[in-house]
Amino acid sequence: MRIDARYASVRRVAKALCFLCLAGQGAADAREPYASTYKVPDHPPVLIEDATLLTGTGARIDGADIMLSDGMIDAVGIDLDGSKNGLIRIDGTGLWVTPGLIDVHSHLGNYPAPSVASTADGNEITGPNTAHVWAEHSVWPQDPQFGLARAGGVTALMILPGSANLFGGRTVTLKNVPGRSVYDMKFPDAPHGLKVACGENPKRVYGERLQAPMTRMGNVAGYRRAWIDAEAYRDSWRRYHEQLAKHEAALEQDMEDDPPASPQPPKRDLGLETLAGVLDGEIPVHIHCYRADEMLVMLDIAKEFNYEVSTFHHAVESYKIADHLAQEGVCSAVWADWWGFKLEAWDMVVENAALIDKAGACAIIHSDDPHDIQRLNQEAAKAMAAGQRRGMDIDEADAIRWITQKPAEAMGIDDVTGTLEAGKAADIVLWNTNPMSVYARAEQVFIDGALVYDRGAPSRGNVSDFDLGQTYLGTRP
């Protein structure tokens, strides 16, 4: 039996709250705390005709149509039926269509613009293990950077805590839609992730304070101790649930005499709940890690405690161990060409993504940056060209997967988005030319079939509250 302590306890709290609201207000909102409030908007059906499609599955289809209706990709093909009522037809001649871009590593909302001390909400640098914090509780939905990323074609993104701590906390996956609350943006049913950081950052931050960890061996000891605590915590909840089940069974079977005493639940611990969620396979692990040798150590820790690593982030040296990463099924989320800002980022090669891909491992291009998230396509293009320069057989149909299908897999949302396939969410970008060109711009962006960005007609959704009153509004964005 697989019991997720986190979900069990959250549900219990939610139930208790719901009794209160039923009693107090009558009509109850059945929403659990911290659950998504996003709803697929109504939209007219859309047919884009005669465009070049990069499907995100590795295919390029020229002169193809794509139909969006009821929030979904209805069909992809040649000469689709355009007779639907109220259909909006878009002539895609000369235009390119890709899945909505997905960024597996972003700090929009928790390091928003304006970037001032009072908005720096990404790094809870108060202890090396802050597995108890949730990135979503720092996300400011009015961050103007969301709209700019939307204009760059980004339809979903994962917001992570920073990398100062060994355990940074829970990540959150968002749909890149305007909202009054982070929960208006939270991607329904997407799992949380756990942010882990290895290497220079934790040991520098805490070492400078003469605290642990001060060294890389201190880093590793810190993870292992935490996982040992997490195992004990998970086991205590398992025992509790076993005892509870026995107790309830006894109550049902034997109503006479003395039923066994009702077991007391262990006290909840938010940090250990997160780590136990990883051990139970509910929370994918995302590790900030640059060096090849350290990534291999991180995989050993995962073996010791029997959990899986989803993705190494930054992963500047993944190309050195691409065979191991392929074998372990671990993704690498890399930059095209960022390097040299610290020693662990010294061994970058621009062929990194191409080499990872060539080895059969999962390659992702990520941004970790509010500028680059606006041009993920260009980052993928640079990484593609680096492979082409070496004679590798890759093209735009391959490279687009690094910013669509592959990050969707890493984030656990690939069953609903990340490719142009019938039945997937209608998260798509319409480009004015080949998106692997520096001259490409997103003309229109759709999320769940709804037009959320139109280059020719900036809308309220792309102007945050913070932007209001600025003198550039009304001019070309």
Position among 131, 322, 394, 426 found at the interface with another protein (CB under 8 A): 322
Q: Does 215 bind another protein (CB under 8 A)?
A: no
Residue from 388, 421, 455, 463 in contact with another protein (CB under 8 A): 388
Q: Give the range of 32-40, 261-269, 320-328, 413-421 binding another protein by CB under 8 A.
A: 320-328
Structure letter (DSSP) for residue 432? S
Part of the chain binding another protein (CB under 8 A), chosen from 92-100, 214-222, 276-284, 381-389:
381-389
Distances (CA, A) of 294 to 285, 317, 331: 15, 10, 15
Q: Of residues 86, 258, 439, 460, which one binds another protein by CB under 8 A?
A: 439
Which DSSP state fits 425? B
> Could you tell me the smallest distance in angstroms from the CB atom of residue 70 to another protein?
34
Full DSSP string of 163-194: SSSSEEEEEEEEES---SSHHHHB-TTPPPEE
How many other C-beta atoms lie within 10 A of the C-beta of residue 447? Answer: 26
CA atoms within 13 A on the CB side of 70: 6
By the 10 Å C-beta count (0-12 exposed, 13-18 middle, 19+ buried), 285 is classed as: buried
Q: How far is the CB of 10 from another protein (least distance, A)?
A: 35
| Count of chain residues binding another protein (CB under 8 A) | 56
Helix (H, G, I), strand (E, B) or coil at 195: strand
**Using an 8 Å Cβ cutoff, are 449 and 72 in contact?**
yes
Instruction: Give me the residues paired with residue 194 across strands.
Output: 170, 285
370 touches another protein (CB under 8 A): yes
The residue among 156 and 354 lying less far from another protein, judged by its C-beta, is: 354
Q: Residues 176, 214: contact at Cβ < 8 Å? A: no
Q: Which residues contact 474 (CB under 8 A, 6 or more apart)?
A: none
Give me the least distance between CB of 329 and another protein, in Å please: 16
Supply 205's token pair.
Answer: 């931050």
Q: Does 441 bind another protein (CB under 8 A)?
A: yes
What is the x/- site pattern for another protein, positions 119-148, by CB under 8 A?
A: -------------------------xx--x
Instruction: Say how many CA atoms lie within 13 Å of 441 toward its Cβ.
Output: 9
8 Å CB contact between 111 and 119: yes
By CB under 8 A, tell whether 34 contacts another protein: no
Contact 378, 403 (CB under 8 A): no
**Between 383 and 413, whose beta carbon lies closer to another protein?**
383
> Which of 308, 328, 347, 454 touches another protein (CB under 8 A)?
347
| Residue 349 touches another protein, criterion: CB under 8 A | yes
Indicate whether 438 belongs to the interface with another protein (CB under 8 A): yes
Among residues 82, 89, 115, 251, which is the contact residue for another protein, using CB under 8 A?
115
Cβ proximity to another protein: between 148 and 413 the closer is 148
For residue 385, state whether it binds another protein (rule: CB under 8 A): yes
Interface with another protein includes 466 (CB under 8 A)? yes
Does 470 help bind another protein (rule: CB under 8 A)?
A: yes
Answer positive or negative: Cα dihedral of 398, 148, 34, 42: negative
Q: Shortest gap between Cβ of 118 and another protein (angstroms)?
A: 12
Give CA separation, 437 vs 59, 338, 402, in Å: 18, 19, 16
Q: Which two tokens stand for residue 439?
A: 């001259």
Q: Is 319 in the site for another protein (CB under 8 A)?
A: yes
When the beta carbons of 72 and 430 are compared against another protein, the nearer one is 430
- Binding interface with another protein (CB under 8 A): 113-116, 144-145, 148, 200, 319-324, 337-343, 346-351, 355, 359, 370-371, 374-375, 378, 381-382, 384-385, 388-391, 436-441, 466-467, 470-472, 475-477
